[in-house]
């Protein structure tokens, strides 16, 4: 029940959602079996339903959506932008399909318009009525492996009149850009900080005064090195080592950051991750058009 409550809070935007526009449209509640939240609706449908054991699945969360090419043809890269008429047609057809599939199991259906692409969140209670008229929870009966394939195919057929077709069954396609994006973020977290370059060695101070001048003149006549001359030679050697160290640190630093840049070559995503505030003004009446009157409480 805690997981259902968390899902409900996410769906109703009752807690922060980093990937949603904070000033985007509010969730559109299209169906509730009862109460004011998906959690309350789920609790109603769970009342009196028999469970086999403590590990029995209580609820299934389902997400329905379509490709950006349906919601914003020709503008697929503009995340958060969509045509309101297409959203209305798709959302209405999707809700009708969900009610046909789960007439006694659909707890809630909530439309999100504050992310990259419109989508519906459904909560379905996998309850099945026995021959004796008793509700029993049986997730495998409604959501077994083969049944899931049938649901995907059936949903595609229901959306066909809108020009939406089912994805390729068994496709091995991957969201490479998404993986690349999050891989770059992870790399940024684990990459060491840029190195701090050590300061150059200080040159020796030039001696001054009559005694220093006399010492320098005598050393020149005798062909020997003074302490200051030895310091100068030591400084030259230290500077050479310092330059080599700096070159190696810069090479390593450039190599690390070049790896990060290589992982984050996200030209297409840079366009897609556009602010989600570009919502068509025509959506102002969408919630009224989609939100039905509150259904009566089921027995």
Q: Rounded to whole angstroms, how far apart are CA atoms 182 and 278?
A: 24
Say what percent of the chain tops pLDDT 70. 74
130 with 237, same domain: the answer is no
pTM as predicted:
0.59
Mean pLDDT, to the nearest integer, of 16-44? 91
Tens of pLDDT along 63-88? 999 999 999 998 888 888 889 999 99
pLDDT of residue 195: 67
Taking residue 91's Cβ as centre, other Cβ atoms within 10 Å add up to: 22
Q: What is the side-by-side order of every strand in the sheet holding 60-65?
A: 28-32, 106-112, 119-124, 60-65
Cβ pair 25, 279 in contact under 8 A: yes
pLDDT tens-digit series, residues 206-260? 777 776 667 677 667 766 777 777 788 888 899 899 899 888 888 887 777 776 6
Q: What is the pLDDT, as a whole number, of residue 293? A: 42
Judge contact between 20 and 114, C-beta under 8 A. yes
Same domain, 31 and 153: yes
Integer angstrom CA distances of residue 105 from 60, 69, 85, 133, 224:
10, 31, 28, 15, 100
- 154 and 89 in a common domain: yes
In a domain, 178, yes or no: no
Report which DSSP code applies to 264.
Answer: T
Domain span including residue 212: 186-265
Same domain for 202 and 283 = no
Contact by Cβ (8 Å): 104, 129: yes
Rounded Cα–Cα distance for residues 36 and 76 (Å): 34
142-166 b/e (C-beta count within 10 Å ≥ 16 → b): beeeeeeeeeeeebeebbeeeebee
Each residue's pLDDT tens digit, 95-107: 999 999 999 999 9
**Residues 259 and 115 placed together within one structural domain of the fold:** no
Identify whether 180 is part of a domain.
no
281 domain residue, yes or no: yes
- Residues 95, 213, single domain; the answer is no
Q: Give the pLDDT confidence score for residue 294 in this predicted structure.
A: 47
Rounded to the nearest 5 degrees, what angle is found at the Cα of 235, between the Cα atoms of 233 and 236? 65
Structure-token match 């809700």, residue found: 95
Q: Is residue 284 a part of any domain in this protein?
A: yes
**Residue 195, domain member (yes or no):** yes
- Same domain for 36 and 97: yes
CATH of residue 73's domain is: 3.30.930.30
**DSSP calls for 18-45:** TTS-TTSPPPEEEEESSSSSHHHHHHHH
On whether both 15 and 128 belong to a single domain, the answer is yes
Instruction: Give yes or no: residues 33 and 101 share one domain.
Output: yes
- Mark whether 166 and 192 lie in a shared domain: no
Name 32's bridge partners: 108
Residue 198 has pLDDT above 90, yes or no: no
The tally of domains found in the chain comes to 2
Structure tokens at 50: 């028999």
Judgement on whether residues 120 and 228 belong to the same structural domain of the protein: no
- Whole-number Å distance between alpha carbons of 234 and 127: 85
Strand partners, 62: 122
């Amino acid at each position: 029940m805690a997981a259902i409550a968390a899902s409900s809070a996410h769906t109703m935007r009752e807690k922060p959602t980093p990937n949603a526009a904070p000033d985007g449209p509010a969730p559109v509640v299209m169906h509730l079996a009862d109460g004011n939240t998906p959690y309350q609706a789920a609790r109603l449908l769970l009342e009196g339903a028999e469970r086999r054991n403590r590990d029995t699945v209580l609820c299934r969360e389902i997400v329905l959506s379509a490709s950006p090419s349906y919601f914003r043809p020709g503008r697929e890269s503009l995340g958060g932008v969509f045509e309101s008429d297409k959203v209305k047609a798709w959302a209405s057809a999707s809700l009708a399909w969900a009610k046909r599939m789960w007439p006694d199991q659909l707890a809630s259906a909530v439309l999100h318009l504050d992310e990259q692409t419109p989508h519906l969140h459904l909560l379905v209670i996998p309850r099945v009525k026995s021959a004796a008229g008793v509700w029993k929870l049986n997730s495998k009966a409604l959501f077994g492996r083969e049944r899931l394939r049938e649901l995907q195919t059936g949903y595609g057929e229901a959306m066909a009149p809108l020009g939406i077709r089912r994805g390729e069954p068994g496709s091995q396609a991957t969201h490479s850009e998404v993986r690349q994006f999050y891989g770059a973020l992870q790399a940024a977290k684990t990459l060491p900080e840029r190195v701090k370059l050590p300061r150059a060695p200080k040159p020796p101070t030039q001696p001054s005064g009559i005694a220093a001048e006399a010492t320098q003149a005598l050393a020149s006549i005798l062909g020997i090195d003074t302490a200051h001359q030895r310091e100068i030679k030591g400084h030259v050697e230290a500077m050479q080592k310092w330059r080599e160290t700096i070159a190696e640190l810069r090479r390593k630093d450039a190599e690390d950051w070049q790896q990060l840049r290589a992982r984050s070559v996200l030209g297409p995503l840079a366009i897609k991750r556009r602010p989600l505030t570009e919502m068509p003004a025509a959506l102002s009446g969408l919630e009224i058009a989609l939100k039905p009157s509150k259904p009566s409480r089921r027995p």
